[in-house]
Structure 1
């Protein structure tokens, strides 16, 4: 069911739509300059989007998502050959809503966003089982609850820790859920009647930040997540670089210290062994004989506990080394650090930056590192952005 899509749109029409969506309100003059269009061509390209009620001329009405974007002054120069002053174009943010879901090994986190990805509702429901049919039933139930409040729900995005292929429809492998070759998009579409896209959860988060967040407008941008695993996404020229590897990721064999800890998950001294929440907890438990939550370990380290401090200091040096290596080889304009393990920066940022400096040429450009305190709703919001992309692009991004 693709009735909610803007398709069929030409590539030029889509370029205009994306520009307004991610940067609006924006003047016609600025759009024409950035996309190398004449005033007449721009008028022709925007006409179907204005008629569909998805774009609006002039100051946009105040809505749930109107606060995001770049403002345009009222004294904008007139567009050539137009008989009236140029008016900014903007998205009608609440003309459509989108559901996004992050499926973990025990919980389904769901959000509803506007067309500009601002979250207007959220809900978390424990999984009854990990059976794909049962999880699809749960997504349907949550979607119906959302649709009762937001009847203009136009699409669904689902983020899963795993490998997703076949035009963002099939989960080929997920160790967290125990799935192989699960056509999860089809299962949810059959139940909801809405367009559905399924994607690796890190890729969804990267797309969200590239379109609406920390990477907006940047040519080279990296997202690095630490938490249950190590997530990495690289954007070049505004597009996510696609790579295989699934949810096993690169962190298990990304060796930071060959003499580092040996843990149940990942090679000795790998990024996964040093940085993931489960392995940090494992190291502390091995030394104390009792289990601690990640938050308890952070508190112990902050209070000067010798074992917790040693483990977190080693993790901080590993994080700084990873950041430096990314900066050395990918040369991004910004690195966004996110995930449930981000609390490491609160207690050990000097050690992180010391490791960054130790692994960078002294004459290299400074690393721009932004941290984002995030929860599972942020991951679900990333999945909703995938559904927004379907609306704009008419298909999942290949």
Structure 2
């Protein structure tokens, strides 16, 4: 297993590599001799590899950048909803290798665990180093404290699943997990601070500050969904007028278009109608774009982070939302404030599952067996 210092070297290369030895030593505040000593066993074991020579601007021989080995194992991420599980198999850099989508017929902890075990077995790989599971709700120390989409309270699901899989399991809130994936591997990589706004069946808010994802009991539990964005907006299922949930969720948009047309329309159909110019559908997405811009402006203003990562299955509609979103941000942000930069991740549910894989990768750093 890796020592703490070896894990720090591997983690830095994983997140920021390939890196020259000079750059890696500087990032870790190590002398060149100390870095050489620490990197040697990782290279000998095959966890790190050397890339082709490159000139790094220093005097002397060209450097051979260090990179993480693609043979470091596979990781499985599972995103749970109240109806389905979305599975992603990734390498150690969270690059997608495979994915699957399966129904959840039994929402009991035992039923969901059995479904995940079957899905992981179907992956048919012998190099899975860890499994990550993400879900909506409050998660702490591997326990689903409150997961309303699944009807769970106080369920030690990480332990239950790990016992069945005989593989380390990381359990995390879905927005926190997605924020971690964007920070380490996604569109937020290299950005020291950003807000994460997710739109889909719910509306979520994550936050990364100084390279660390904010984790509090309120992180990711959806309180932002009931923030009022439009005083005369529609009423959400909990009776709040003009809140984010009532304007931005896929279900709210579909319900509004259905009411306008006098027939039931799902989100995908509503999106297709809006793209075709159907007035009622177009109005719903225009209002959603205005609401998203308002939410992004508020998120940037209150978090003091001018970068906003946008993700979630509702991002399928971002081509329709973007113009109104950017216009709303411009109206709300004062001219003296930093311009808000939007970073869309349009991977949909795959992004959620990849987030779950990312927390499994993070948990594995330090306990990865050195490949031989």
Q: Give the TM-score taking structure 2 as reference length.
A: 0.92
Aligned in 2, Cα 1:272/1:365: closer, same or farther, shift over 3 Å? same
Establish whether residue 124 from structure 1 lines up as the match of residue 101 from structure 2.
yes
The equivalent residue for 2:20 is 27
- 5+ residue gaps, structure 1: 1-5, 60-72
The structural deviation recorded for 1:206 is 0.9
The answer to whether 1:13 aligns with 2:6 is yes
Deviation at 1:275, TM superposition (A): 0.6
CA pair 235-247 structure 1, distance change in 2 beyond 3 A: closer
The Cα of 1:268 is off from its aligned counterpart by 0.8
Q: What is the aligned partner in structure 1 of residue 31 from structure 2?
A: 38
Report the counterpart of residue 139 of structure 2 in structure 1: 164
Matches of 1:260 and 1:46 in 2, distance apart? 58
Of 213, 233, 248, the match for 1:240:
213
TM-fit CA distance, 1:52: 3.2
Counterparts of 1:288-307 in structure 2, within 5 Å, are 288-307=261-280
From 55, 75, 79, the counterpart of 2:48:
55
Pick from 141, 148, 156: which aligns with 1:175? Answer: 148
- Tell me if the contact between 1:79 and 1:86 (Cα under 8 Å) persists in the aligned partners: no
Matched pairs, number: 368
Please say which of residues 236-245 and 151-160 is displaced more in the overlay. 236-245
Structure 1 distance, partners of 2:219, 2:157, is 16
CA distance in 1, matches of 2:260, 2:358: 43
Query: What are the Cα deviations for residues 307-327 of structure 1, in whole angstroms up to 9, with x where unaligned?
Result: 223322221111111111122
**Contact 1:251/1:266, CA 8 A, preserved across alignment:** no
Q: SS where residue 325 of structure 1 aligns?
A: helix
Structure 1 CA distance for aligned equivalents of residues 306 and 321 of structure 2: 24
Secondary structure, in 3 states, of the residue corresponding to 1:301?
Answer: helix
Secondary structure at 2:90's aligned position in 1?
strand
Q: How much has 1:35 moved relative to structure 2? A: 2.1
User: Is 1:136–2:113 an aligned residue pair?
Assistant: yes
- Match of residue 54, structure 2, among 62, 67, 74: 74
Cα RMSD of the aligned pairs, angstroms, is 2.1
Retained in 2: the 8 A contact 1:334–1:370? yes
Aligned to 1:64: none
1:153 aligns with 2:128: yes
Answer yes or no: is 1:358 the counterpart of 2:331: yes
If the length of structure 1 is used for normalisation, what is the TM-score?
0.86
**Cα 1:327–1:276, aligned 2, differ >3 Å: closer, same or farther?**
same
